């Protein structure tokens, strides 16, 4: 039950965003800033070197013109049940629009960093895309 409780908000958010961003959806639904939230679990959580490589590679994504800002860090430890602090590195990347996010996802610099750094050094990546209403 605990796992379902944790996954349910993500499933609902994914369903909502999927319908908003689908080609047949309301064209006005994609207007607004987008926050691309990425949570990473390292393959070797104790490796400070791996952690630093992921953080540096993430900060370098500011070379992509569509990126307005990037915040990269580690979780703030919490004993509150509602807080998931199990990830190793979190990123919040801000875009002007869903269109800019789409360009970013296919950008060669993003693809390269995912293939060369994030892919090999992470065990799991979870993404939430949030559009400002």
Helix (H, G, I), strand (E, B) or coil at 93: strand
Q: What is the pLDDT of residues 82-126, one digit of tens each?
A: 999 999 999 999 999 999 999 999 999 999 999 999 999 999 999
Residue 7's pLDDT is 41
Residue 30's pLDDT is 57
Q: What is the mean pLDDT of the segment spanning 66-71?
A: 98
Q: What percent of the chain has pLDDT over 90?
A: 76
Q: What is the pLDDT of residues 24-59, one digit of tens each?
A: 344 445 589 999 999 999 999 999 999 999 999 999
Residue 64's pLDDT is 98
Q: Starting at the earlier edge strand, list the strands of the sheet with 67-73.
A: 67-73, 89-95, 34-42, 122-131
Q: How far apart are CA 26 and CA 48, in angstroms?
A: 45
Task: Report the predicted TM-score, pTM, of the whole model to 2 decimal places.
Answer: 0.77
Q: Which domains does the chain have, with CATH numbers?
A: 31-131 (3.30.70.100)
Q: What is the mean pLDDT of the segment spanning 52-76?
A: 97
Residue 31's pLDDT is 80
| Residues in CB range of 125: below 8 A, 6 or more apart | 38, 39, 40, 41, 118
């Amino acid at each position: 039950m605990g796992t379902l409780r944790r996954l349910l908000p993500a499933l609902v958010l994914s369903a909502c965003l999927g319908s908003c961003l689908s080609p047949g959806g309301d064209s006005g639904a994609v207007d607004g800033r987008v926050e691309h939230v990425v949570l990473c679990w390292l393959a070797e959580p104790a490796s400070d070197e791996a952690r630093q490589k992921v953080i540096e590679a993430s900060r370098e994504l500011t070379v992509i013109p569509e990126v307005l800002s990037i915040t990269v860090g580690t979780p703030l430890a919490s004993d509150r049940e509602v807080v998931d602090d199990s990830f190793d590195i979190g990123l919040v990347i801000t875009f002007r629009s869903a269109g800019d996010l789409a360009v970013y996802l296919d950008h060669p610099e993003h693809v390269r960093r995912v293939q060369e750094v994030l892919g090999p050094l992470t065990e799991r990546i979870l993404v939430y895309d949030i559009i400002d209403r």
